Amino acid sequence: MSQFAAEPLLDITVRVNGIRRTAAAPARRLLSDFLRHDLGLTGTHVGCEHGVCGACTVLVDGEPARACLMFAVTAQAHDVTTVEGIGHDPADLDPVQQAFVECHALQCGFCTPGFVTTISAYLDEHPDPSADEAREAISGNLCRCTGYQNIVAAVLRAAELRREREGTA
């Protein structure tokens, strides 16, 4: 009988969007698959599984990382934020999400969660980017629909919205 037959399952616990989540999965389960299929958080999308497209970008301890280049088991004891953690209620959008609507920064929407997480983390560190900086900030994520121009605009608009919300907070 092959070794595969008894591939052991590990109880993997990750704090996802502020909540401790546990599921049994083999060691080779990618964080992207763990989030999507074991935890049912399908907002994180898988575009290439070799770390180039950025669709699966989540925040690990607040920093953007490719969920397809991490095994879930390595994410244990870390904080993972997915697009659902940025904002899961269509009627209550986070500033980045709101900016995407206003600027028409998405078309098919498949790459979008990776952009939203990336931009959220970026704006935490760079609250007032220039257009060139905004373009550079999104230059690790592939989008096949938009041509990026409106995403650049959305980064700038999101920065504005964040400042407005902080001002009124």
* Residues between 132 and 151 with contacts to other proteins, criterion CB under 8 A: 135-151
What mask, x for binding other proteins by CB under 8 A, covers residues 16 to 55? ----------xxxxx--x--xx--xxxxxxxxxxxxxxxx
Q: Which of 15, 79, 87, 133 binds other proteins (CB under 8 A)?
A: 87
Q: Is 81 in the site for other proteins (CB under 8 A)?
A: no
Q: Does 57 bind other proteins (CB under 8 A)?
A: yes
What φ, ψ does residue 5 adopt, rounded to 5°?
-60, -30
10 Å Cβ neighbour count for 77?
Answer: 8
Site residue total, other proteins (CB under 8 A): 88
State which of residues 16, 23, 118, 161 lies at the interface with other proteins (CB under 8 A).
118
What separation in angstroms does the CA of 117 have from each of 3, 26, 82, 94, 152?
Answer: 38, 26, 7, 11, 14
User: Phi and psi for 117 in degrees, rounded to 5?
Assistant: -65, -45
